[in-house]
Structure 1
Amino acid sequence: MLTTDATGAGASTGREIDLFSQEFAADPFPVYSRLRSSAPVHYDPATRLWLVSRDEDIRKVLLDSATYRNDNALRPVLPLRLPALRIMERVGFNIPPALFNNSGDSHAGLRGIVLRMFSAQRVREALPMIERVTAEELDLLEAALEVEGRCDVASTAARTIPIRVMLEMLGIAGLSEVDTATVAEWTDAFITLFWGRTDKDEQRLLAGRASDFYAWLCDLAELREVPDGSLLAALAAHRMPDGSPMTRDEIVAICSNLLVAGHVTTSQMISTALCRALESPDEWQALQAGGPERAEAFVEETLRREPSLTAWRRITSRETTLNGVELPADAELLLLLTSAGTDPEAFEDPEGICPFRDSGRQHLGFGLGRHRCPGAELARAEGRVFLDMAARRFPNLRAADADGPPFLELVSFRAPSRLLVAQTDGK
């Protein structure tokens, strides 16, 4: 049971919260419920983060960017060990504030570039490309099912579609000989290194991959001939608030932010949505009959109930009070977005998946305020296209893991780490 101590900080009189455990990753909802009712602003000594669990409080934080800054958003949740740091130092690993960890004067201009890259019009224009990429990946899924009898969607189609789409949207597909599987491996390594609990040997491996990712981005940032309309062209033409051009590392920071977020969160959203849809044969049939509208509504419910970005960080710029709890300056907060989406004070039947619910998009799956996810419409489009096409193409698809899928054990990211599927005999 969670209680509140005399200072207002959440304290536990029962089991401690382990944000990295498989038990929590597989089913965090009971913990969120206890936090909301007993300690909505709770200090977690293991991570030194203040866990904020109620929808109302999280909205307050996200809308007050002066008091709650995002400067800590991309710091490792747990300190990196010296061997990993040395590996990264060899390539000069340096990702300065760009989008997700930038509360400075440069943020507005950089965000404007990204918003134009992912505008509603550009997403509409990209739909044929998204459908083509999805169809090609579903061809590979079908072939794997025919040969092997089952396939892990989380490591194949759900993983590959978003990185291919993102490289196309940014105009950097084909600018290097690195394949999409390698880029996906790099971005997966990046989030595991910065948001996971890893031992020394695993950190060395992940640091090596993150360093390769950084070196590749540096090569892209130094290209002089880039396609018109590409992200690299827009960044080369951009001027910072003092009138100076962007540095190589600033360009690298923007590209890494977008590739990690655009690949990882969308890939995980697709895996989670498919996982939940296959849990109910009636829902899978409804997706086949309901077309894009049903797929879009189901994706929206997935984003509310189980967003890929389960939690995000803020840091206080001054002493403040949140829900009666006194927070010092430089207090690091973890905003539990999944908890907000299942808060009964904000949503009716919060843990049920109810496509077409009245609240629609009024959730925090993409954040809120000046740092709201700029790629929200692209992610929605990818999820809708995938679910719609997969349901119609594989009407007899079913989950093939008898014990249910394992989940990623990361702070801030949650999705099946494996999603085995097969087809019934009536395919």
Structure 2
Amino acid sequence: MTSAETASCPVHQNFDPLEETYLADPYPTMSAVRAEVPVFYSPEVDMWVVTRYGDIESVFKDPGSYSASIGQRPVFPLTDEAREIVRGGFHATPVMSDCDPPRHTRIRKHNMKGFSARRTAVLEPKVWAKATELVDAIEPGRVDLVSAVTYPLPAYMIFTFIGFPDADMDMLKRWCGNRMLFSWGRPSPEEQKDIAGNMVRYWRYCEEFVADRAKNPRDDFTSDLVRIHRDDPEAVSLEEIVNVAYGLSFAGHETTTNYTSNIIRRLLTHRSQWEDVCADRELVTDAIEEGLRYDSSIIAWRRITTRPVTLGGVDIPEGGKIMLLLGAANRDPEVFHAPESFDIHRDDSRSHLAFGKGIHFCLGAALARMEARIVLELLAERAPGMTLVEEQEYTFPANISFRGPRRLLVDWPAAT
């Protein structure tokens, strides 16, 4: 018996967010279901799917009724072997995106100090330096901007922010591989086992790293949390700092990689708007906000009800798992004018829900925006004539939440 059988609600038998056509382009399906059945149950994922901006906004604003605790859990059951591997060495507990008040309130307060305007400002010259190094390394001809720029830059910056040594970067990026598939996809038994093993390795690395910072704090985000712990062990524990370092090191680069790649793709597809940006760099900020609205890096997120609720006219029982289709909300015609059009000159794009809303609004939003701004400014300066490779086929990671092209091929012009 599925959880939907405890309530009467519309059921959409054909909605599968892991189906190939949907993964290639989910937006036609999102728009169709938002118009037809704004809230419905999907047996494929055993979740109530919510599509309208107003309904999703109300969920974000009511953490008492809609718990975030489900956010990082695997969508589908793990095999016994994968569960044993995880139990043997992975001890993560909810701390931020999958945590509820009052614990969330306490931990977020201290994390906000680490994401202060001061530390973000300190990082900006480092972002410029790394981005410039990556762009300068590009040779004229065909290049994949994901592997050349949009993947290595956010990974390097979030690892630097946390304090991980440069020498460990490649190893850590390998361990991050397929993490999306584990929690938000439908991995095979063999894939589950491999990913679980890397999760354990990564967790143990974070434990050792935090233990070292506890003895020898430096000028980084982890050390900031360690100092808070030293002043008041009840404020944040070392175990919670390990959890933060582990979670942030994944979330802080995959999402930025995806949305920066998405924005570049959309700008180059809409050539006149790319030319507008190249002619007027003040439009970069508008382009970023429109990219976040039109093609977000997180197209869906999850909540679970703590009590019976009525959402969009549909009754959902306590313990009901909910999928919030952020991609559908960001193209809701009740909120955005001509929502299916990509337009960096619109005046309503900043109302998007790409970074969430309420108590779980993304802490790293300012850092992510800054990284994307620097990349776009550099590309507009160094390669205004670059063009998308027309015959390329875009592929996307097979998961319900995170979306960005695995490769983004462009023809890079020779320097003039």
Q: Aligning the two structures, in what range does the TM-score lie when normalised by the shorter sequence? A: over 0.9
Question: 2: CA distance between counterparts of 1:225 and 1:96?
Answer: 23
**Secondary structure of 2:186's aligned partner:** coil
| Residues 9, 314 of structure 2: 8 Å contact kept | yes
Q: 1:94 aligns with which of 91, 108, 112?
A: 91
| Residues 99, 111 of structure 1: 8 Å contact kept | yes
Question: 2: CA distance between counterparts of 1:417 and 1:10?
Answer: 35
| Residues 55, 312 of structure 2: 8 Å contact kept | yes
Number of residues paired by the alignment?
A: 411
Code of the aligned partner of 1:122: R
Question: 1: CA distance between counterparts of 2:401 and 2:322?
Answer: 12
Question: 2: CA distance between counterparts of 1:377 and 1:295?
Answer: 14
| Residues 184, 263 of structure 1: 8 Å contact kept | no
**Secondary structure of 2:410's aligned partner:** strand
Q: In 2 relative to 1, CA 12–104 (structure 1 residues): closer, same or farther, beyond 3 Å? A: closer
Equivalent position of 1:62 in the other structure: 60
Question: 2: CA distance between counterparts of 1:80 and 1:401?
Answer: 40
Equivalent position of 2:157 in the other structure: 165
**Secondary structure of 1:11's aligned partner:** coil
| Residues 159, 184 of structure 1: 8 Å contact kept | no
Equivalent position of 1:11 in the other structure: 11
Q: 1:280 Cα shift?
A: 2.6
| Residues 285, 395 of structure 1: 8 Å contact kept | yes
Q: 1:8 Cα shift?
A: 4.7
Q: Deviations over 1:139-177 (max 9, x none)?
A: 23x13xx4xx3222223311110011112223x142x74
Give the structure-2-normalised TM-score: 0.92
Q: In 2 relative to 1, CA 239–127 (structure 1 residues): closer, same or farther, beyond 3 Å? A: closer
Question: 2: CA distance between counterparts of 1:226 and 1:361?
Answer: 41
Q: Report the RMSD for the aligned CA atoms in angstroms.
A: 2.4
Equivalent position of 1:187 in the other structure: 176
Equivalent position of 1:129 in the other structure: 126
Question: Following superposition of structure 1 onto structure 2, how do residues 286-301 of structure 1 map, counting pairs within 5 Å?
Answer: 286-291=276-281, 293-301=282-290
Q: 1:310 Cα shift?
A: 1.1
Q: 1:132 Cα shift?
A: 0.7
Q: 1:276 Cα shift?
A: 1.1
Question: 2: CA distance between counterparts of 1:75 and 1:239?
Answer: 28
| Residues 275, 419 of structure 1: 8 Å contact kept | yes
Which has the higher mean CA deviation after the structures are superposed, 397-406 or 365-374?
397-406
| Residues 12, 43 of structure 2: 8 Å contact kept | no
Q: 1:106 Cα shift?
A: 2.2
| Residues 195, 410 of structure 1: 8 Å contact kept | yes
Q: Deviations over 1:241-270 (max 9, x none)?
A: x96364443222111221111111001111
Give the structure-1-normalised TM-score: 0.90
| Residues 308, 414 of structure 1: 8 Å contact kept | yes
Question: 1: CA distance between counterparts of 2:321 and 2:239?
Answer: 26
Q: 1:329 Cα shift?
A: 0.4
Code of the aligned partner of 2:360: H
Q: Deviations over 1:292-343 (max 9, x none)?
A: x212111111111111111111111101111111110011111111110001
Can you give the 5+ residue segments of structure 2 that lack an aligned partner in the other structure? none
Matched, 1:80 2:78: yes
Q: 1:269 aligns with which of 253, 259, 267?
A: 259
Equivalent position of 1:367 in the other structure: 356
Question: 1: CA distance between counterparts of 2:255 and 2:345?
Answer: 23
Can you give the 5+ residue segments of structure 1 that lack an aligned partner in the other structure? none
Code of the aligned partner of 1:94: H
Q: 1:113 Cα shift?
A: 2.1
Matched, 1:329 2:318: yes
Equivalent position of 1:255 in the other structure: 245
Equivalent position of 2:114 in the other structure: 117
